[in-house]
Amino acid sequence: MNGNSPPFPDPPPRPDMADRTIFDGSEALVGRTLGDYRVLRKLGRGAMAEVYLAEQVSLERRVALKILDTDVAKSQRDIERFIREARAAARLAHANIVQVYEVGEHGSIHYIAQEYVEGENLGQLIKRVGQLDAVPFVQILGQVASALMRAGDAGIVHRDIKPENLLLTPLGEVKVADFGLARVFEETSQPRLTEDGMTMGSPLYMSPEQIEGKPLDTRSDIYSLGVTCFQLLTGRPPFEADTSMNVALQHLRDNPPSLEGLRPDLQPDLCQIIQRMLAKNPKDRFSGGRGVLQALEQCSPGSSGKGFPPALAPSPELSSEALLEFRQAATQQLSAVMAREDKTRPLLKTPLLWASIAGALLLGVTLGLPDRDPYLLAVAEDPQTEIRNMGRVESQYELARRLGTEEAWKSVPLYFPGALQYRKRAEKELAELYLTKDRRNEALKLFGQFVSRNPTDSQLHVYGLAGQYVMMVLDGEQQSAFQIFERLWPRREKLAPFSPEITRRVYRHALDHHPDITPAMRTEMNRWLKRGRGARYKSGDRSGGS
């Protein structure tokens, strides 16, 4: 073992590719289990991956499982891009962004497990209804802008905003999907397009600077969103041609058709927002999603007679449950509007829906961001504000999941101490939040509580030991980590299903640094790492010893 290797080394090399043929073809995957995921049926495919509906066995929930194409998986560069997709998206906790749960591999199969969103994408919606009226359009635009604001704050450029990557749930929520082309940008070193050129993105929606291979920032996504908005309102993109090159040339040199001329029923202020998003020069666009939201607010003068109502600003005293009910009312009304299939009649315009939209533009951001912007009207201006009791543990946990804050996760065991399963999951999330934010003392204290207050054979007890192991490694206390491992190893079958990520970190470090790992233990740990992070232990599969 190399004492100079990093505390958590890179994964072992991929296994021999001989097992690839087992999984070739969509039919071969259906009914099989990849790690913790049982594949149910194929949903579709993208540029680099096929998408399946699967069940995550340990948590009994449905997920969308993206399987990297076997031909693409031959290229290490594309495997790294696939992994980068998951890592970029996993950083973004927001109600309007598809949540990534895990990235892993099973033999030669590389996959991403993410939130399964029922409903349709906006491309399908436009094919069904033709074009949108301003009312549902503004609701959609506000939610997408909110998601891009969160991505921009995290330093993420989506690079492929288009109707097919914007999903609409039956409740009227819009979720941005597929950060597969995302690229982290730095203030000092802007990324450039790779030699893939125009294949990284959809030519119909690409910004001029993306086509030219120039440095990209959030304003490129604003342009692509502007193209998407034009299509949502007119039924077609602003530029069309018989070849991708001709479309690209139009993006570079031609002005889009007049939206006001094509849709005279729309308010001029709204058309001007789209026009600004489509500016050729990035400096002339909104700097990001926050600017779009502010523009939507400013074009709502209320008494000016233009038809835009004043924004609804919930008071700081408004309870968390009231916020959720308000947002739900807005999205339900959007859902009702979206459900109409009559293409010959315009979509509904009602003052009540305008009011709900104005609220949703604010509340969609409020509920989706851990770091809340005062302009966007958070639950309260004090970030330490008390989270209200939602009345039901399921609602309390969902609120905590949406907010992702320390106070929100603490509210679950505070208000529902007897709901042991939800309390366990919330406390686990809180510990990992501390670990992510490098709040080591608090994380170590919570892991210690898991060990001390739970029976020695419980999941939380074993998870607490694993957390202590990770903390000892991070603090350079190798000998203490080895002592904890001796207690952890006999109970390892309870850890892997509960926390595959912690299991992976423990095993990878132990393999490289623990002086007393036997060949049998090494074989078992390597086998688990190769077959997937979420793999379950079979009863009696305890080769090796402590």
Q: Which residues are catalytic?
A: 160
Closest CA to 400 of 378, 419, 373, 423: 423
Interhelix angle 218-234/289-298, rounded to 10 degrees, is 50
Closest CA to 230 of 334, 146, 126, 347: 126
Cβ atoms of residues 257 and 274 within 8 Å: no
- End-to-end, the C-alpha distance of the chain in Å comes to 18
Cβ atoms of residues 226 and 161 within 8 Å: no
Cα separation, 8 vs 51, whole angstroms: 30
Closest CA to 300 of 291, 289, 309: 309
Cα separation, 215 vs 217, whole angstroms: 7
The CB-side HSE value for 252 (13 A sphere, CA atoms) comes to 13
503-512: list long-range contacts, CB under 8 Å, 24+ apart.
503/466, 503/528, 503/533, 504/529, 504/533, 505/8, 505/470, 506/466, 506/469, 506/470, 508/8, 508/9, 508/11, 509/7, 509/8, 509/9, 509/469, 509/473, 509/481, 510/485, 512/1, 512/2, 512/5, 512/9
